[in-house]
């Protein structure tokens, strides 16, 4: 058995709930919160079934004593926009923050917004955070601004990096777009996420017994560069069985506008990845990174158990968005399809029913009001999400609203329990039936028999659709319907332009229709 798996199994075995210092004796007036963010993690988690080979025993153990939302979706398929939405309780279509910048603190009407950790601090919680919580770590206002947490670390990110890029073909200009085995000596202690876990473990162990805590740990992997040590690669076969299922003609029935959302990104399309014989390496690197991060989550859960806090702590695990590994002919995020919007969302602890899977459509926007209610805090006015507490008690409870994902003004996805409806800024549409087509291979939007269904889903499109805030245009599309011209980072795009295959090369694929 690979050494990494032995380590994970040992953590897994330690996660049973003991009666040491019984939960009834130790419970504070309000539960503790352990808030765990994982960057770029799609549904390749064991119990979620997104990938048949995914090994995540620690997340699976947490899910066994809590509730997993199997139809949870981000508000934006990009780090900053997604995290701003979750932590402020506002939609990107409300704030206009659609890109990797700016901070909402730089948007005058939202500059004084009380974030989730700040709200808990205002109500008596000791707050501590490290790693990637906001896009700039623990700081909602950027790297030079004060942290939103009382106590914070300055760790996280990639950690140790190789002296030169591991992947040299296809040629990729962005330094983060790389993957493979690193470091070569199986030393995980130099990884940024290992150090974040160390810090969070210490915070859990040092927490005073007379005051509830809100401890946040933000893990960087499986974000690129997907570097993992060999022991985690050994969990996955070096053959094509690791590759996701794809349809070669998958983009033939998608609108031309669907390309615009990821027009010229550093993440390469599938074609050059496959031509360079790097597809399997990328997928294995992503899976290995997931298993490594799973073990770091296990270390936090073991620390809760050792400190006697398992019974009085609400644990929530979430990812800011998903990630394509060749599906829809691309890698990366920045789309409104299932692979990019669907995220793991797991709750466990007091007030949460165990061993539940809930298929109702829910949003990351719902975390703020849910945690406030679970903690017994006064309701927070002005939140655009909806508490998930009824579903945490009973996964079959009713839920009328769908999940909405936005990527730039005018581009929205509406995900109900069965259907995904997408409308782009030029009015083009997609519709997928997840009962019969979970891979979203067949766009049904042009069929007359679905007109009423599309109209029903369209009623959920955001009524407020704010243009990009100043500084928010990076990697975000703008569109002028009067001229039918899209603009990507200041460069006009016409419908005859060839689709870029990476940030530096293009292919002469025929233009897609509207």
Point out the catalytic residue in the list 135, 155, 324, 457.
135
135 is a catalytic site residue: yes
Parallel, antiparallel, or unpaired: how do β-strands 331-332 and 226-228 relate? Answer: unpaired
**Distance between CA atoms of residues 333 and 69, nearest Å:** 20
Token duo for residue 272: 């050059």
**Distance between CA atoms of residues 97 and 84, nearest Å:** 8
Among residues 497, 477, 495, the alpha carbon closest in space to that of 487 is found at 477
How many CB atoms are closer than 10 A to CB 355?
11
Q: Helix, strand, coil proportions of the chain in percent (round to 5)?
A: 30, 20, 55
Parallel, antiparallel, or unpaired: how do β-strands 213-219 and 32-38 relate? Answer: parallel
Point out the catalytic residue in the list 58, 79, 226, 358.
79
**Distance between CA atoms of residues 262 and 488, nearest Å:** 9
Token duo for residue 99: 């890109």
Give phi and psi for 55, each to the nearest 5: -115, 105
152 is a catalytic site residue: no
Ordered DSSP codes for 434-495: TTT-TT-----TT-GGGHHHHHHHHTTS-S--PPPPTT--TT-EEEETTTTEEEETTEEE-T
Question: Which contacts (CB < 8 Å, 24+ apart) does range 171-175 have?
Answer: 171/502, 171/504, 171/505, 172/266, 172/268, 172/502, 172/503, 172/504, 173/266, 173/502, 173/503, 173/504, 174/266, 174/503, 175/225
Q: Which residues are catalytic?
A: 79, 135
């Amino acid at each position: 058995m690979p050494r990494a798996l032995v380590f994970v199994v040992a953590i897994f075995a330690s996660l049973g709930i003991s009666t040491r210092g019984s939960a009834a004796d130790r419970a504070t007036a309000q539960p503790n919160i352990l808030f765990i963010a994982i960057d770029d993690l799609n549904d390749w988690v064991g119990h979620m079934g997104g990938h048949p080979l995914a090994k995540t025993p620690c997340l699976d153990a947490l899910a066994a004593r809590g509730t997993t939302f199997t139809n949870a979706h981000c508000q934006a398929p990009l780090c900053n926009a997604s995290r701003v939405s979750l932590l402020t309780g506002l939609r990107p279509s409300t704030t206009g923050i659609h890109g990797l910048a700016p901070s909402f603190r730089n948007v005058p009407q939202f500059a004084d917004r009380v974030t989730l950790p700040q709200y808990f601090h205002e109500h008596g919680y000791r707050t501590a955070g490290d790693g990637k919580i906001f896009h700039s770590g623990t700081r909602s206002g950027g790297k030079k601004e004060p942290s939103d947490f009382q106590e914070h670390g300055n760790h996280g990110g990639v950690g140790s990096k190789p002296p030169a890029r591991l992947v040299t073909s296809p040629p990729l200009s962005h330094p983060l777009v790389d993957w493979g085995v690193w470091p070569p000596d199986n030393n995980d202690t130099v990884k940024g996420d290992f150090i974040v876990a160390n810090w969070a473990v210490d915070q859990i162990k040092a927490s005073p017994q007379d005051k509830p805590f809100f401890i946040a740990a933000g893990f960087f992997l499986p974000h690129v560069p997907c570097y993992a040590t060999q022991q985690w690669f050994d969990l996955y076969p070096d053959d094509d069985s690791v590759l996701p299922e794809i349809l070669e003609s998958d983009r033939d029935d998608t609108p031309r506008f669907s390309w615009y959302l990821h027009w010229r990104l550093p993440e390469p399309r599938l074609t050059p990845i496959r031509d360079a014989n790097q597809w399997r390496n990328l997928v294995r690197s992503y899976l290995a990174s997931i298993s490594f991060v799973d073990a770091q989550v296990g270390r936090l859960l073991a620390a809760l158990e050792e400190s006697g806090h398992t019974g009085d702590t609400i644990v929530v695990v979430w990812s800011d968005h998903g990630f394509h590994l060749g599906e829809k002919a691309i890698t990366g995020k920045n789309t409104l399809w299932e692979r990019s919007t669907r995220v793991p969302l797991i709750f466990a602890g007091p007030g949460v029913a165990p061993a539940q899977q809930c298929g109702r459509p829910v949003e990351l926007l719902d975390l703020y009001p849910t945690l406030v209610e679970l903690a017994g805090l006064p309701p927070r006015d002005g939140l655009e999400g909806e508490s998930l507490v009824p579903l945490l008690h009973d996964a079959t409870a009713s839920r009328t609203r769908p999940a909405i994902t936005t990527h730039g003004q005018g581009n929205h996805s509406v995900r109900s329990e069965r259907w995904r409806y997408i409308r782009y800024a030029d009015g083009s549409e997609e519709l997928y039936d997840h009962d019969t087509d979970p891979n979203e291979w067949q766009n049904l939007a042009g069929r007359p028999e679905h007109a009423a269904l599309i109209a029903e889903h369209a009623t959920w499109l955001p009524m407020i659709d704010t243009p990009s805030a100043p500084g928010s245009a990076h990697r975000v599309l703008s569109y002028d319907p009067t001229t039918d011209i899209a603009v990507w980072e200041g460069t006009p795009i016409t419908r005859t332009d060839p689709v870029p295959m990476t940030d530096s090369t293009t292919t002469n694929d025929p233009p897609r229709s509207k």
